[in-house]
A and B are shown apart, each in its own frame.
Chain A
Amino acid sequence: MGYIKDERPQTMMVDGDWQIGAYTYKAPKLVEEFVAGLKEKKIIGSLCMGCGKVIVPPRRVCGRCHRMMEGRQVVSNRGTVTSFIVSPPVKEGKMIIFGIDAVGSGAIKEGSVIIPAFVRFDGSDANVGTEILNVDAKDVYVGMRVEAVWEEKPQGMLSDLLGVEPLKDGE
């Protein structure tokens, strides 16, 4: 090890803070169309005339056929869980994302268990990332039938779709 000095416990350090938040990014245009649907408690997807797949939320170009997805389709409020995870009980100061404390900011209640999940709504060919509500984590399984839970007065925002919950009437 000729190039590196053997005896050097710690080198001099320079402290610094760098601001990385000084940008404004643009959301995809089709989000507007999607949230307009949410305002009416409707989940909208785009239909590919090439392969017949319905993708939720809508997108401009089909990932496989590479053609414009001109069709629009309202898919069901009911769907199937394709994957899910279970968080440990969330504590203040434990979950900090991009400097925002999940509990401190009011986004998540102290001690709650979150079940983020992927749901495939009937009539679509894509997963939607959302959350399973009003259920004990022990009772959740892949293939579980669920339906959308809506904000009482939808505002035309992504958060209008609060999550999904198990079917009450069992179909």
Chain B
Amino acid sequence: MRNTAIIGCGQTKHSSRRRDVNLAELVEEAVYNALEDAGLTMDEVDAFVVGNMQGFGGVAQPEQWLGDWIGAPGKPVLRIATGGTTGGSVGQGGYYAVSSGLYDKVVAVAWEKHSDSKEPGATMGLAHVGIANMFHALGYGLSLKSLIASAGVGAAAGVAVYQARFYMHRSGCTMEHFDMVAARLRRNAAKNKYAHLQWPNCKPEDIAKTEIVAYPFRYGHVCPASDGASAIVVASQDVALKKCKKPAWFKGVASYSDEENQLQSENYGGVGVLDSSEQMGARVSAKMAYKQAGIIDPRKEIDVAELYTPFPSQEFIFSEKMGLFDEGQAWKATEAGETEIEGKMPLTPSGGVNATNAIGSSALQRILEAGLQVMGKAEEHQVPKKVRNALAHGWGGNTNYITVTVLGDSPRR
């Protein structure tokens, strides 16, 4: 495997309605920003890896529409769609394409354009995904009434809310801790010029004032639906050293999918796991990625983590699974302020998915933001310390599909 690095990052401004652009123009905006950052022209790109959440935006083959806009004609284009983790898989796809030796300069771009749907959020897109789940639900013993009841709190929220309840029960954390995380992520987002829900000086009390969606979640806990795109330029070692002063090197790349926690699959895939916050996929992929990166103690060696957490409870669950805190202890670190941008273990300084959720792009945005931290280009939300290793994580909808990427300031040996 060749050494591979991110040499350019580009994002669009995210908001609930980007009516000034269409899908292709939105994607182009991110790609152009990334190329500009990398100092490359469209002609110099060898290949593209693209993707958004399947079925979302009501366009089945978006790559046909946007190919011309990103300079892809006559070049290899690979579309990847793995649900909520799509962006993570797209970023890793860019890594595979370069590290395999096939190409030297690859653009990986992921996006979502929710506002094209007339329904709020992404109901139409969720229906595509949901139909498969409905049939799992049959095998799961859910009658129509129960299905409507559990679907009533929204697809991913409906799953995450059970997950949160499991976690609260075994860790002892309370709703107030969710308020703290949500407030911090929105404060962080205010420092990120591309973020969607920006709320400077947001306090946990402000979040606590919002209405209950489904106990224990409030409106203030739930992520928005955003329009936006993210792109990275992935390059081989030769190109990276020539083109970039401080590239973000890929050091560990792993993904893991298990039936275990697929909430609405037939009884958790028939493995008899009763706790949907167990998330073994996260633990296994983190372990694999750390091994590749030569990381022995993630608490000492990971300097900043960008976690895919549409809901605040997931920050606790996933940071523990990534080995950053002891099991059931992450909420205490939040209470102590350790996860702030200036803290000991800064979590999601960009504001993350809780503040900006262009679904297909969200997990690529985690890789991109981790890259910015390594490259020292995160501007206002740059962590005030030397970043040797940054962790990027992706989580897929209600399934247990996880991507974990470790980026570092030096190539893998």
| A residues in contact (CB < 8 Å) with B | 1-4, 8-11, 18, 20, 23, 25, 27-28, 30-31, 34, 51, 53, 55-57, 59, 61-64, 69, 82-88, 90, 95, 97-98, 100, 102, 107-108, 114, 116, 118, 120, 125-131, 137, 142-143, 157-159, 161, 163
Contact = CB atoms under 8 A, between A and B. Distances in A.
Nearest to A16: B58
B28 interface: yes
Interface in B219-277: 259-260, 264, 266-272, 274-276
Interface stretch (B103-111, B122-130, B332-340): B122-130
B150 A53 contact: no
B166 interface: yes
Contacts of B149: 87, 102, 108, 114, 116, 131
A127 B274 contact: yes
A55 B214 contact: no
B144 interface: yes
A56 B267 contact: yes
B135 A27 contact: yes
Interface string B266-297: 11111110111000000000000000000000
B20 interface: yes
A10 B19 contact: yes
6 contacts: A4-B25, A27-B135, A55-B266, A56-B267, A107-B144, A159-B145
Contact of A84 (B128, B165, B264): B165
Nearest to A30: B139
B214 A129 contact: no
Contact of B29 (A4, A56, A161): A4
B214 A126 contact: no
B153 interface: yes
Interface of B: 19-22, 25, 28-29, 32-33, 58, 124, 127-128, 130-131, 135, 137-146, 148-153, 158, 161-162, 165-166, 169, 211-216, 259-260, 264, 266-272, 274-276
Nearest to B150: A116
A158 B266 contact: no
Contacts of A137: 215
A97 B152 contact: yes
A137 B212 CA distance: 14
A91 B140 CA distance: 27
Nearest to A18: B58
A88 B154 CA distance: 13
Point out which of A18, A31, A100 has the most chain B C-beta atoms below 10 A from its C-beta.
Answer: A31
B153 A85 contact: yes
